A = this chain, B = another copy of it.
Amino acid sequence: MLQGLSGGNEMKVCVVGSTGHVGYVFEGLGQMPEVDIIAAAPGSKGENIESLCSTISRYGYAINRYGDYIRMLDMEKPNIVVVACYFGDHAKVSVEALKRDMHVFSEKPLATTYEDLDKLKQAYKNSNALIGGMFGLRYTPCFLTAKKVVEEGAIGEIRLMNAQKSYKLGNRGENYKNHKSYGGTIPWVGIHAIDWLYWFSGKKFLSVSASHSSMYNRGHGELEVSALCHFVMQDEIFGSVSIDYLRPSQAPTHADDRIRIVGTRGIIEVMNDRVFLINDEPREQPEMNMVSGKSVFADFINYIKGQSSLISAEDAFIVTEACLKARESADRNSIVFFK
């Protein structure tokens, strides 16, 4: 493999796992000639990285392939580790990278247990490296547009938010079928919507009531196919998150992501990848002109370089914790309060 192509600023990348959205890395590559993907390894027992390695090759990188990611990190000494293995193993891999002062670009959730999240935060505190999460939906044209409109004050103060994630189920691998490797549908699917509540409002979570069910999951073991969360945030702001894997196979898209944000001066909605605003100012039509999307990986590279990022490590920890609290609420059928 050709190292050092872009001189002293080169960013050597190792990929751990092929289960998450590694695609975010490839999407952003055109903007980042300094990035060099140098090696890959599975991050979870039983994970197959064949297809991942083929894809990396297709992008023109000749990589070393390892069976053991720890060995890969020690041998290759990358600047950045992309963590995209089974979700229950994210934190374990990230901790190993942070210990070695390697930056981590992790699939969400950053951890699937409180214990792992604590270990990860500790490793982050002791490390000279940064961690970023694959909160890729923030970077889409519709959500960037909605964020811009809200920041311009078009809806006034946010009071109420209704977020939705709806996916087609299809046939999911074994890693989705047990809690330990999967982590739960609230942390895996719901996290995006929970992130929106936090991102748009900029407020702290105070409490959550949640519910989830694995009934009618078409042979997917412990996988929950319906879930609902009720968050209370600072300033008496409330947010619902509806999550399901019941989107019919005939639906035109895989996902039906939505948010409706009710403010003191207006209401904005993201639906069907479009953005609609109604407020007290007359306008010819409620649909907003879209801003361009961005690359979440390019944003992470900028973050490493000391620029501000759309989502900080601290934010990613907060959103991950909110998911775990919501899952705990659903498991215990009681309100869970945030510290």
| Interface stretch (choices A72-80, A208-216, A298-306) | A208-216
A-B contact pairs, 21 of them (CB 8 A): A157-B216, A159-B213, A162-B162, A162-B164, A209-B230, A210-B230, A226-B236, A227-B238, A228-B238, A228-B240, A229-B230, A232-B333, A246-B263, A247-B267, A248-B266, A248-B267, A248-B278, A248-B279, A248-B280, A250-B282, A333-B335
User: Does chain B have a CB within 8 A of A2?
Assistant: no
- Residues of A200-227 contacting chain B, CB below 8 A: 207, 209-211, 213, 215-216, 225-227
With A160-B228, A162-B164 as contacts: A262 and B246 at CB distance below 8 Å: yes
B211 touches A236 (CB 8 A): yes
User: Complex Cα distance A160/B215, Å?
Assistant: 12
Chain A binding site: helix, strand, loop or mixed by DSSP? Answer: strand
Residues from chain B with Cβ under 8 Å of A210 in the complex? 230
User: Does chain B have a CB within 8 A of A265?
Assistant: yes
Interface bracket on A: 35 or more
B240 touches A162 (CB 8 A): yes
User: Does chain B have a CB within 8 A of A112?
Assistant: no
